[in-house]
Structure 1
C-alpha cells in the first residue's frame, strides 16, 4: 500500500501538476462531475488533481482532474439533429434484439437482452 505523503504535491514537482489529497483541494477547483452537478462544463485544461488510495485498486493511486470553477461555463445548447440522434441511440439501447420490445430501461450489456428474455419468461402481450 502506498503512503498518503507520496501523493501530496501542491507545487507539482513529482506529478507534473499540483496534486492534493482527497477533500483537501483549495477552494475554486472542482472535478468534472462536480461541475456537471452545478450545470457547468469545464473550459480549458485541468490545472490540478486530487489523488487517493482505493480498495478497488490496491497500491495504485486513483486520481481526478481539477478545473477552475470561474472558467467553467454552461453547456452549449444541442441542435435538433443532436437531440434526435441521442433519442434514437437511447431507443436502440432499450430495444431487445430477442423479442423486439422497447423497454423502459437500458438492456444490460452482460446478457444483451431484456430481463424476461434473459430469464426465459415469455414476453408480455
Structure 2
C-alpha cells in the first residue's frame, strides 16, 4: 500500500470523501492506497515542509522508533521532531503503536504529486 499526496480542487476533494463515505456505509470500505489531498500547492507545502518530508523518509527507512530515538537519529531537537511527528500523525502519514507508543510509516512508498497548472493570460 502506498500513500498518494496531491493537490485537488475543493469540489474534487469533497466528491472523493463522499465516495469513500458511501463505501464505508455499505460495508465495502476500499482497501488500497491512502489518498491525501490539499486544496492548493501552497497548503501542501506548508503542511509537508522539507523537514517533515525528510522525517517521513527517514522513519520509513528505519522502521518503528520512539520519537526520542528518531530525534537522535536525525540529529534534530526532540520537541521539533515531536511536533512534526504529531502533524504527520494528524495527516495520517504516520501511526503510533498503542502498546509501545513508537511511531512508524505504514506505507511501502509515499508519492507526492504536484502539478502546476498553466498560467492564464
TM-score range, shorter chain: under 0.3
Q: TM-score, normalised by structure 2?
A: 0.23
Relative to its length, the structure with more helix (as a share) is 2
Larger RCO, structure (CA 8 Å, separation 6 or more): 2
Which structure's CA Rg is the greater one? 1
Q: TM-score, normalised by structure 1?
A: 0.22
